[in-house]
């Protein structure tokens, strides 16, 4: 979601002639889009701000802007600690960020209305909802991004159509819990069906899905709508019912496994990926073992594992953070080791197969593409003409998470 919002800011600024630079030292305006989900993300942002301030001391004309969740949560603290920050725009006010940045840089923002999406990316991110109402007990998102709001379905379809007109082949729909999208009589399944009608669009993906709201209707639609990719990111967080309850996730492990079965029956080649938190307050060795066992048994296509960190305002922040850091680290490593082992086995089993891929990028003659299940595939000795095309690739080699092959 942050990547999507950063892209949008970049796109808007580029219509004023701004150029994106890759290193801090070349910037006239430094915009830091922040995340508050984990403590580590905030620490990283603080250290970047330290570097940005040093840079500004040597180059006083430089402007520093902080946007996003940290700006929302602790904007005034940032301002006190980093006196050289020029502008702070919180996550709830992100739509006005561009106006405020234009103001700061003395840009005539009446030009703003002329912004047309002219980005030529093959994959485009489209936000369909904001905020979240779920209040998982560890999560700061509802506090920094506010309550759940589903965006106007017609605007979403128009944004997707425009992106396709400009060359997009794949749309990735974004929201904290896309399954609960509801705008008037349009639910998530009917929204995806409408988007799938756009001519020229090849693929649709979406994230994130909440297991408590994943409907049979959506599972069936994923199996039958040819443009919808066979990948679902379905965060499990834990396999211990005691921990799931304390996390306020509102489903049991049995319910989660039931969804996995339904998804695999409906779409046999589906890749299911997940998020896991280790070291949540009260997570005993036995609770953790249940999660590790689930990772082994479910055989996720991939996963993100996080060490629990208490976040302000959340319910879990009042619980005793009783798992020592070293123990969290070791549980984290065990989950990652298991998941990597499974990933290696899955990609190895794909060697010799033919995969339909969509080429997303090209660099030095190497195409970066993705299978319908979301695996990266690299193809050497190709040219720009292949960009944005659907190709059949014979898989010759597999490494950790990636595949290598030739077009047939």
Whether the ω angle into residue 208 lies within 30 degrees of 0, i.e. cis, is yes
Residue 145 vs 332, nearer CB to ligand SF4: 145
139 binds ligand SF4 (CB under 6 A): yes
CB atoms within 10 A of CB 381: 9
Among 141, 172, 303, 393, which residue interacts with ligand SF4 (rule: CB under 6 A)? 141
Here the contacts of 249-253 (C-beta below 8 Å, separation 24 or greater) are 249/136, 249/211, 249/212, 250/134, 250/212, 251/211, 251/212, 253/290, 253/294
**404 backbone dihedrals φ, ψ, rounded to 5°:** -130, 140
Among 161, 237, 267, 271, which residue interacts with ligand SAH (rule: CB under 6 A)? 237
132 binds ligand SF4 (CB under 6 A): yes
Q: Give the range of 23-31, 134-142, 282-290, 359-367 binding ligand SAH by CB under 6 A.
A: 134-142
- In this structure, what token pair is assigned to residue 156? 């979403």
- Whose tokens are 């940290």? That residue is 70
157 binds ligand SAH (CB under 6 A): no
306 binds ligand SAH (CB under 6 A): yes
210 binds ligand SF4 (CB under 6 A): yes
User: Element (H or E) spanning 362, and its range?
Assistant: strand 354-363
Q: Give the range of 46-54, 127-135, 254-262, 376-384 binding ligand SF4 by CB under 6 A.
A: 127-135
- Residue 306 binds which of ligand SAH, ligand SF4, none (CB < 5-8 A, kind-dependent): ligand SAH
Residue 247 vs 403, nearer CB to ligand SF4: 247
Residue 176 vs 371, nearer CB to ligand SF4: 176
DSSP assignment of 302-351 equals EEEEEE----TTSGGGGS---S-HHHHHHHHHHHHHHHHHHHHHHHHHHT
State the number of binding residues for ligand SF4 (CB under 6 A): 10
Which residue from 176, 144, 3 is spatially nearest to 75, judged by alpha carbons?
144
**391 backbone dihedrals φ, ψ, rounded to 5°:** -130, 150
Among 68, 90, 142, 388, which residue interacts with ligand SF4 (rule: CB under 6 A)? 142
Please say whether the beta carbons of 302 and 271 come within 8 A: yes
> Rounded to an integer, what distance in angstroms lies between the CA atom of residue 55 and that of residue 35?
22
Per CB under 6 A, which of residues 178..217 are in contact with ligand SAH? 208, 210
Q: Give the range of 136-144, 261-269, 282-290, 382-390 binding ligand SAH by CB under 6 A.
A: 136-144
Please say whether the beta carbons of 85 and 79 come within 8 A: yes
277 binds ligand SAH (CB under 6 A): yes
- Residue 256 binds which of ligand SF4, ligand SAH, none (CB < 5-8 A, kind-dependent): none
- Whose tokens are 């993705």? That residue is 370
Site for ligand SAH, rule CB under 6 A: 37-38, 138-139, 141, 176-177, 208, 210, 235, 237, 275, 277, 306, 308-309, 311
Site for ligand SF4, rule CB under 6 A: 132, 134-136, 139, 141-142, 176-177, 210
């Amino acid at each position: 979601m942050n990547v999507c919002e950063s892209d949008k800011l970049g796109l808007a600024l580029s219509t004023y002639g701004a150029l994106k630079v890759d290193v801090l030292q070349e910037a006239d305006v430094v915009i830091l889009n922040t995340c508050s989900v984990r403590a580590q993300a905030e620490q990283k942002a603080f250290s970047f701000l330290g570097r940005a301030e040093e840079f500004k001391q040597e180059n006083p004309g430089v402007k520093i802007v902080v946007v996003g969740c940290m700006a929302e949560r602790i904007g005034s603290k940032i301002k006190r600690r980093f006196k050289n920050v020029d502008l702070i725009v919180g996550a709830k006010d992100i739509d006005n960020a561009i106006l405020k940045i234009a103001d700061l840089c003395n840009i005539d923002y009446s030009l703003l209305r002329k912004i047309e999406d002219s980005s030529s990316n093959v994959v485009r991110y489209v936000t369909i909802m904001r905020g979240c109402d779920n209040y998982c007990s560890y999560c700061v998102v509802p506090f920094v991004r506010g309550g759940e709001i589903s965006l106007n379905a017609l605007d979403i379809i128009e944004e997707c159509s425009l992106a396709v007109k400009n060359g997009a082949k794949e749309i990735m729909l974004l929201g904290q819990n896309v399954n609960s999208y509801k705008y008037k009589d349009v639910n998530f399944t009917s929204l995806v069906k409408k988007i799938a009608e756009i001519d020229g669009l090849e693929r649709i993906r979406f994230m994130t899905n909440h297991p408590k709201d994943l409907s049979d209707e959506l599972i069936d639609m994923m199996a039958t709508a040819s443009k919808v990719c066979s990948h679902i990111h379905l965060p499990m967080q834990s396999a211990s019912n005691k921990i799931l309850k304390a996390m306020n996730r509102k489903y049991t492990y049995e319910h989660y496994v039931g969804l996995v079965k339904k998804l695999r029956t409906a779409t046999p080649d589906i890749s299911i990926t997940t998020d896991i938190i280790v070291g949540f307050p009260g997570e005993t060795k036995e609770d953790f073992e249940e999660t590790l066992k689930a990772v082994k048994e479910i055989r996720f296509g991939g996963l993100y594992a996080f060490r629990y960190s208490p976040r302000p305002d959340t319910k879990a922040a009042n619980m005793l953070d009783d798992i020592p850091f070293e123990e969290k680290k070791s549980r984290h490593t065990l989950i990652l080791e298991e998941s990597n082992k499974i990933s290696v086995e899955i990609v190895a089993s794909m060697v010799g197969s033919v995969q339909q891929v969509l080429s997303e990028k090209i660099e030095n003659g190497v195409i970066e593409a993705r299978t319908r299940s979301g695996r990266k595939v690299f193809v050497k000795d190709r040219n720009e003409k292949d960009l944005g095309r659907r190709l059949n690739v014979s898989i010759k080699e597999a490494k950790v998470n990636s595949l290598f092959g030739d077009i047939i």
